[in-house]
Every structure is written in C-alpha cells, then in structure tokens.
Amino acid sequence: MKSISHRGFLTPPQGEGGAVIEARLKKILREDQVSPLWTDRLSYGRDCNSKAMLWVRSGEIRYPPQWVVWPENTHEVSAILSLASHLRVPVIPFGGGSGVCGGTWALKGGICLDLKRMDAILEMDTRKMQVRVQSGMNGEWFERALNRRGLTLGHFPSSIYAATVGGYLACRSAGQFSSLYGKIEDMVEGLEVVLADGQILRLGNVREQPQTLDLKEIFIGSEGTLGVMTEGSFRVHPLPQMEAYRGFYFSNVGKGIQAAKEIMQRGLKPSVLRLYDPLDTLLTTSHEDKEEEGNWLDPLFSWFKEQSLKPLLRNPKLLKNLTDFLPARCLMILGFQGLKALVPGKVSRAQEICKKYRGKDLGEGPGLHWLKHRYSVSYKLSPLFDEGFFADTLEVATTWSNVLKLYRKVREVIGKHALVLAHFSHAYPEGCSIYFTFVGYRNNLHESEKIYDVIWRDGLEACVAAGGTISHHHGVGILKAEFMSREWGEGFDWLYKLKRELDPGNILNPGKLGFPLVWEEERT
C-alpha cells in the first residue's frame, strides 16, 4: 500500500498559533472532542469526489484540516464559530463525507466541524406530521427511526447510508423518490442556524406570512459558507399503503421523454420515473436476469477488468462511433406509492400513456430490480479506480422543451474524452434532471487529472450554453465553483455581498460555492 501524505501549501498545526487555537478549542470542548492527529486529519481531508479518489490511490490527501472537532450541541458549535471568527481560522462543516464536489476539502486548513455527534431526534409531532432533528443524524438511521413510527421522510439519496441530514440541507439534496416527495428544500419547515460570529438563529416557516423574507432559503444549499445548520424541522409522511413498479422499453430517447413528460403533466405523480439512454439501458438490463447481487456497474467493471476497454477508452472518438451502433431502445422505470385506493388507477393511466408512445410493457421486473439495487451504484465506483480508470457523474436539469438539446450537447462534448451514458430522472411537470456518467482511462494520474478537468470544464460549459442548471442535487463545492457566476449572472454580486456581510472574516468553508479563498484586498 502506498503511504499517504499531504501536499501543497498546508502547514500542520505547529508553532505558537496552532497551540493557542488547540488550547482554546480544548477549553470549549472535552479532550476527546478535539483531534490534531494525522490519522483523523487525513480521514477528513477528502470526500467522495472522483479527483480525491484518484489522489488517494496515488498516495495523496491534498487538503486535510488542521483539527477535527466533534461538538455535541448547538452551544458548542456557537462557541467554536465565535472563537474561529475571533482568530480568523477557517471552519469546514462536515457530515457524512459523501459529497462529490469537494465541498468539504479544507483548502486553507483550519477546523473540520464534524456534526455527527449531534444526531438526536428532538421532536416527533405525528399530529402536525413534523419532525425536528439535529443535522448530524445519519440519513438511513433517521429513515428507520421514522419507519418505526409508521412514517417516512420520503428522501432516499443513493448516499443515504453515509449522508447526514445536515449534508442533505447543505447541498439541496434530492432523493430517488423526489417526483412524489420533492427535494429536501421542499420538505424543510424550519432551521436552526449558527452564524459565523456564533449567533444562534431559529428560522421558522414563513410560507403563510406575506411580505416576510424567507431566510431559510439563504442557508439551504449554502454548503456551510454562510452559516452552520445545526437542526432542521421536516414534513414527514405516513408509510405508503402500497407500491407498484413497471418497466417499459421505448424505441428511442425522444419517445421516452414524451411519455415521461405526459405522465408528469397529467398529474400522475409517480414516486420514481427514470428513463435510461441506449448505453445506460444496455448496461442496466445486462444484469437483470442474473440472480446474484449487483447493479449495472458490475458488467461494466468486469468488462473493464479484462482490460478490453482500456485501449478503446484512450480513443473515445472510436468508442463513440461504436456506441452509436447500439440498439436505440431505452428503458423506463416507473414507480408509484400511496393509497391502495389510488395507486392502481395511476398505474393504469401511466400504462395508457406509455402505450400511446409505443412503449413495450415489461411488467414489474425491471422496477423491482432497480428498487433492490438502488443504492449500490454509489459503492461500486471504487473498484473502477483500483483498475486505473476514472469515473464521475454530472447532474444537470432543464425544462422539457430544452431537455433533448441539453442531453445532446453535454453528451457530445464529454463523449470526445470518455465513455458517456445518461439517464433522465427527478421528473417534474416542467422538466427533469439528466444524470450523466462518464468513464475514462489514462496511463497515469497526471493525464487522468488533466482529462478529468477538461471533461468537467467542457461539460459545464455546454450545460450553461444550452441553458441548463449546472447542478440539480449534488451542489457546487469546488468542482463547479468557477461556473457559479456564469449561472447566477449579475445576481452573484449580491450573493458575494451577502457572504461578506454574514462572514466578514471568510472563515466559513472558504473557497466553495464560487466564493474566494481569500478576500481580494487581502491577496498579496
């Protein structure tokens, strides 16, 4: 195994300054709540971003924090932020570390604020159907606790086993059943936020209060750059009485999109609607008849492992020409949840719509297979990296009238450098998200990193040019930071001023979300 080291400008916590900060932290927290140890710092120096995975496999952790702290209540978070503001030490809030955009990299070192010890359910009101929970609560544990009371949050991101509620909020996460339950921002009723100066704020629901600025919207999606969210109140739902799944084949992407659009616009509200493009369909269905555990990445992985694709992946143009000869059929998976009285009617109306667009009904098999393996994909990328490949996902979104244009443009530019497949999911009446997956291979880290950066730059450029949003639910982090001002336009100036107002010392997760690592006047 290669040894892991830090690289670059980061200085380990040495000298008088470091000692003072550590001593002050230990005054606020117990000894076991503060760690300056390399083992901890290295563990927190990365997330699940693909580039970070490449670095780890090359023996590098580039952005470790200088301390890791584990506060146990909001007052401790407040005291830490107050201290950090006073001493101008960066603070990087940390949940499950399952983000994929480099949002928790400690670009300037500082304190990693791991909130996982703040994981209590504080209130469960089954009358109002609201639950108040601390932000360090793990997604799966939260869901299980709700299930025991006959409830569900309805939020099932593929990172659910690792992610925390705070992480959901920080990056405006979406779950796989978002077409029915919405994204996390649709579920939030209230927030507790700690500002950079340590001030604790409780923000309630102002939906029914006209002429009142909804401050929650400032912090949801702010990725720890404007405040630290320590608690959230969420709307919950009863567990569904029944679920039903169907699979359909369409002759091409266009037909599938027409059917998907009509299903959403006729108000059928499926819990799941996923349409795979031809290559994604091929890989998804190649595993369906087998009994063993697995998902679509398994055949891809076996294929790669045999090295047969490595030469091809070095020549993406040739690969693209080959994939163009694939059968054009596209798989759609549809799922419905809810009351026994209503679900069968919705299924039959969806079947009618699919039939109208010549969809071939495959029964419930493909849907049930997807359901069984729906979280596996996030944990199957790692072996690809072990074999020297790199892979990542890009999730964009747009309206139905623009969706094919966006799909073609982004696919075209990424396809020049890597194998690219996509599916359409998180559908709404007015549009949907497109989830691109790309896989590439180069001989060494340097080459891989170079091409990886080119893919992201060209992919996001194509997305902006085609009028899509650069992120539907992964967030921005450092990965898409350069494109923030492109998407926001002149409105980004306001966001920048807001950052300066709320965090004048630039201590909160500096360098993320398009904000500078250092204020301009301090760059010398």
Partner 1 sequence: MEIDKTSLLVTVDSDQTISELEKELNRQGFTLNYLPVPPSNILLADVLNERQPNLYGEVFGGIEDLCVQVRLAQPDGSVWENVLSPRSATGPSLKKIAIGGGESFGIIVQATLKIFFQPESKAMALVRFPHKRQEEFFLRTLRKNQTPVPLWASLPREDVDPFFESLKRSDRVLGISWWGETGEVQDQYRYLQALAVQKGGEWYELEEEKGQREWLVDLQRYALQRIQKLVEQNEELSPGHRKLIRKVQSIL
For the segment 327-386, give every residue that binds partner 1 (CB under 8 A).
Answer: 338-339, 341-342, 345-346, 349
Q: Smaller CB distance to partner 1: residue 158 or 286?
A: 158
Are 331 and 249 within 8 A, CB to CB?
A: yes
> Is residue 238 near partner 1 by the rule CB under 8 A?
yes
471 within 8 A of 344, measured Cβ to Cβ: no
The CA distance from 446 to 448, in Å, is: 6
Alpha-carbon distance of 94 to 219, in angstroms, equals 15
> Which of 513, 474, 472 is CA-nearest to residue 496?
513
146 token code pair: 């709700």
| CA distances (Å), origin 312, targets 300, 393, 417 | 14, 20, 11
Shortest spacing between CB 269 and partner 1, in angstroms: 8
Stretch that binds partner 1, among 34-42, 193-201, 287-295, 366-374 (CB under 8 A): 193-201
x/- letters, 48..77, toward partner 1 (CB under 8 A): ------------------------------
Tokens of 79: 């005291």
Work out how close the CB of 45 gets to partner 1 at its nearest, in angstroms, rounded to a whole number.
24
17 touches 85 (CB < 8 A)? no
**Do the bridges between strand 188-194 and strand 130-134 make them parallel or antiparallel, or are there none, so unpaired?**
unpaired
- Contacts with partner 1 in 479-498 (CB under 8 A)? 480, 484, 487-491, 494-495, 497-498
Name which of 433 and 437 has its Cβ closer to partner 1.
433
Residue 230 is a binding residue for partner 1 (CB under 8 A): no
Distance separating alpha carbons of residues 210 and 81, to the nearest angstrom = 33
Phi-psi sector, 191: left (phi>0), alpha (psi -120 to 50), beta: beta
In this structure, the chain runs to a length of 524
Nearer to partner 1, 24 or 346 (CB): 346
Distance between alpha carbon 115 and the CA centroid of its chain, in Å? 18
Q: Which segment (134-142, 173-181, 286-294, 375-383) binds partner 1 by CB under 8 A? A: 173-181
From 70-78, 205-213, 296-304, 415-423, span contacting partner 1 (CB under 8 A): 205-213
How far apart are alpha carbons 464 and 460 in whole angstroms?
Answer: 6
Question: Binding partner 1 by CB under 8 A: which of 171, 334, 421, 479?
Answer: 171
Site string for partner 1, 391-430 (x = CB under 8 A): ------xxxxxx-----------------------x-xxx
Q: Which is nearer to partner 1, 369 or 426 (CB)?
A: 426
Which residue in the set 83, 91, 111, 226 belongs to the binding site for partner 1 (CB under 8 A)? 226
Q: Which is nearer to partner 1, 60 or 223 (CB)?
A: 223
- The backbone region for 464, taken as left when phi is positive above 0, alpha when psi lies in -120 to 50, beta otherwise, is alpha
> By CB under 8 A, how many residues form the interface with partner 1?
86
Residues 285-324 that bind partner 1 (CB under 8 A): none
Contact criterion met (CB below 8 Å) for 477 and 102: yes
Q: Is 233 in the site for partner 1 (CB under 8 A)?
A: no
Residue with Cβ nearer partner 1 (76 or 487): 487
Which residues is 123 bridged to in the sheet? 132
Region of 32-40, 210-218, 359-367, 417-425 interacting with partner 1 (CB under 8 A): 210-218
The single residue among 47, 114, 223, 243 that binds partner 1, judged by CB under 8 A, is 223
Q: Is 513 in the site for partner 1 (CB under 8 A)?
A: yes
Interface positions, 99-128, toward partner 1 (CB under 8 A): 127
Query: Is residue 245 within 8 Å of residue 334, measured between CB atoms?
Result: yes
In sequence order, the 6+-apart residues with CB closer than 8 A to the CB of 414 are 394, 420, 436, 438, 455, 458, 459
Nearest in space to 262 (alpha carbons), one of 352, 156, 163, 139: 352
C-alpha distance from residue 280 to each of 295, 420, 453, 471 (Å)? 12, 9, 23, 20
CA dist 56 and 62 (Å) reads 9
Q: How far is the CB of 204 from partner 1 (least distance, A)?
A: 7
CB nearer to partner 1: pick between 373 and 474: 474
Check: CB of residue 254 under 8 Å from CB of residue 158. no
C-beta closer to partner 1: residue 97 or 475: 475
Which one among 52, 107, 180, 275 touches partner 1, defined by CB under 8 A? 180
Candidate residues 87, 120, 124, 129; the one interacting with partner 1 per rule CB under 8 A: 129
CB of 470 to partner 1, least distance (A): 6
Q: Which residues share a beta bridge with 247?
A: 333, 363
Give yes or no for residue 222 binding partner 1 (CB under 8 A): yes
Tell me which of 265, 286, 351, 376 binds partner 1, using CB under 8 A: 265
Decide whether 84 or 502 has the Cβ nearer to partner 1.
502
Residue 504 as a binder of partner 1 (CB under 8 A): the answer is no
Residue 508 per-residue DSSP state: B
Between the alpha carbon of residue 275 and those of residues 122, 247, 252, 467, the distances in Å are 39, 10, 10, 21
- By the rule CB under 8 A, 431 interacts with partner 1: yes
**Tokens of residue 379, six digits:** 């944990």
* Residue 450 in contact with partner 1, rule: CB under 8 A: no
Contact call for residue 517 and partner 1 (CB under 8 A): no
- Amino acid 18 reads G
Residues within window 451-470 making contact with partner 1, judged by CB under 8 A: 467-470
Look up tokens 């009485």; give the residue.
241
Q: Which stretch binds partner 1 (CB under 8 A): 212-220, 286-294, 354-362, 413-421?
A: 212-220
**Binding of partner 1 at residue 274 (CB under 8 A)?**
no
Say if residues 90 and 509 touch (Cβ distance below 8 Å): yes
Write down the least CB distance from residue 60 to partner 1, Å: 28
